[in-house]
Structure 1
């Protein structure tokens, strides 16, 4: 749901989430974007990345139980994700994350035999180095004058006219626009890959220690992480929102983005621990049961979200690109996710996998999944 809120705004307009200053944005528009920046942007892709690293240990355990070599399976899985990611980026949404997962997943394969402590140490080193680099970049932009920053912002916005025309044109122009943005998207993915890798390695550490197997014995530690993560993450996220959508000048936008990105893992940890603690309560268990079917088919939902939004915002369908306010977009995203919850519940009541999950599992195993595979996966 968090990823959907960000992707919906990004697919709706070139001005989304501070990409450039939108002169037509209302106070409500900036407030909505500020809320999403504070509580959502940068947090949920890290959560997904953490879970990807954690699930890597489950993939290893599954191969061991089947008496199969893990490396060929994992390489096929990465290839499957790469193909899905390329198709997703070219046809639907340039902000695809699957290609990044496919490539960085190779590092997890190489590090599969490392100890839990080594994985955590590597995560800290990667996070520290990338954070320092990003903060230096933000400080460098702060040296610009307000006039220079405004001029740079205006140059960026000037290029949006052609992008709007392409997304409102026809199917061919939509694909052309996506391909044209690939170099910038790959550069952005490269800049963010350090945080994805750090989350992968943190998930690998937790998976090797089986920390999510029984969280009941870790309540005190999770409460500490919840409080400390909020104390670090919320101020950083608020600063990002104020710098990008708030009253600070345009030269603060890049530094705000970098500070928000560097502190996002802290707020992600708060969300993770908060949800785990909530799930130990009776009400939390009911909430978890509501969301669980959608979680079991997260890849299908992720890709179908992009398909629906492409039909709404581009020339594939209604061509409403840059025509809807952020408030309407966010409301529509929530309605879409509620619909997916209902559909996921019905589908998972009859099947063990979502359609894309089934396809990826077939590629991973190099055979069609059997019923016993589905039953085992559901039990796990």
Structure 2
């Protein structure tokens, strides 16, 4: 994740150029809206299998409890949401790094020390997230992959797209080639019995023993990432590089001058993106009906599906850019901008709210709701987050977790409250 998308460096009014957090006037509102839009998608995508614990329930139980509404909802979720929201966030991370790099270069400073401190702070926050709230944290993984961006900081133009596509598409495909998979699987941590382990995780989620829950969450995080680590971090770097291309070309900062490009991206992104994104949901529907899918089919759809995810995410971004040019839609979309300005607080807040709703230490709804019920539940959570973000940013420069992150990264406490005049105008 990235908390700005525009970078954190700005010239000070002293004779010595220093790196400091970005000011409000430097923000690109479209990027804030995009980030807010993506954050709701992440919440919904995480809630269905993970927070609600459907992924840890026996398959036959889930199938027996599924209604027609559940099946339709899961298909639409797989088509329009799964993977796309996360793709947007990862590309925005890369975009943010590219803009940081440009601004640091303009000041004659190296972006590396600040980037390393930011990633270290992010990793620490991510590990704390795993220990205190939820095993599925993305922050520490994003931080690890973020170091890979330093290898490409001098790459520009279409080379960024070429490297991005290569790293995004090739490593997962190679990993799932049966002989390669079987050879590498031996180096991945795994429980002796997956079914028994899932049952233990489900019991911990629905129970009230916080110590047991923490232990099982750490184990789940290790096993989950341990299964995909061979390609996962490289794959993230690939997506970062696609975002870095957008950052170095300034297509969002200069969106009004590039509307023809975004119109074409909208058409191709939605058209081909929906086609590619439909592959996996259709496959899952067939498997749920007991239809055996040959192994080679699963391998063959990896690249088309991944391309579909990225194209559809790009199509969403283009739609937001074009809608932001229309006054009524712009006013409506800007409602999302505050949550996009404080994505770290929003993301961690989603874990807090969702675990309270579903886990045994809170309302304990895990395993007791239909899949489609997660839609109104997540809309309710996100609405409260939007209200909170508007209220908070009317008084403060950053979200609470963004302030902590920035203070850690810059090695000094950052000013938090807005000046009195800005509070009056907020």
TM class by smaller structure: 0.7 to 0.9
1:264 aligns with 2:309: yes
Q: Deviations over 1:236-260 (max 9, x none)?
A: 2223222214565464498298454
2:85 pairs with 1:44: yes
Aligned 1:181-220 pairs, distance under 5 A: 181-188=220-227, 190=229, 191-220=231-260
Deviation at 1:159, TM superposition (A): 4.4
1:10 to 34, 46, 49: 49
- Which of 306, 310, 319 aligns to 2:351? It is 306
Report the counterpart of residue 165 of structure 1 in structure 2: 203
Q: CA deviation at 1:229?
A: 1.7
> Structure 1 residue 63: deviation in Å?
4.1
Shift of residue 117 of structure 1? 3.3
Deviation at 1:47, TM superposition (A): 0.3
Q: Are the structure 2 counterparts of residues 316 and 116 from structure 1 closer, same or farther at C-alpha, using a change threshold of 3 Å? A: farther
Q: Deviations over 1:123-182 (max 9, x none)?
A: 122134135436756xx99xxxxxxxxxxxxx8555432222111221112112101212
Partner of 1:115: 156
**Any idea what SS the aligned residue of 1:229 has?**
helix
Match among 231, 235, 238 for residue 275 of structure 2: 235
State which of 52, 63, 75 in structure 2 corresponds to 1:34: 75
Q: 2:395 aligns with which of 341, 345, 350?
A: 350
1:50 touches 1:202 (CA, 8 Å); kept in 2? yes
Partner of 1:147: none
Q: Which deviates more, 335-344 or 321-330?
A: 321-330
Closer, same or farther: CA 374–261 of 1 in aligned 2, 3 Å: farther
* TM-score with structure 1 setting the length: 0.85
Shift of the alpha carbon at 1:357? 0.5
1:374–1:228 CA distance, 2 compared to 1 (3 A): farther
Note if contact 1:171-1:315 (Cα within 8 Å) is conserved in structure 2: no
Q: Does 1:84 align with 2:113?
A: no
The corresponding residue for 2:342 is 297
CA contact (8 A) 1:244 1:253 kept: no
Greater shift, 216-225 or 35-44, is seen at 216-225
Q: Is the 8 A contact 2:168 2:236 kept in 1?
A: no
User: Structure 1, residues 195-225: CA drift from partner, whole Å, max 9, x if none?
Assistant: 4222200111121121111112222221222
Cα drift, residue 31 of structure 1: 1.5
Structure 1, residues 259-307: CA drift from partner, whole Å, max 9, x if none? Answer: 5444211111111111111111112211232111110011100001001
CA contact (8 A) 2:131 2:217 kept: yes
Give unmatched runs, 5+ long, in structure 1: 142-154, 376-380
2: distance between equivalents of 1:341 and 1:371?
A: 20
Let me know the Cα RMSD of the aligned residues. 3.0
Match of 1:174 in 2: 213
Q: Quick one: distance in 2 between partners of 1:345 and 1:308?
A: 18
Q: Secondary structure at the match of 1:264?
A: helix
Question: How many residues get paired?
Answer: 361
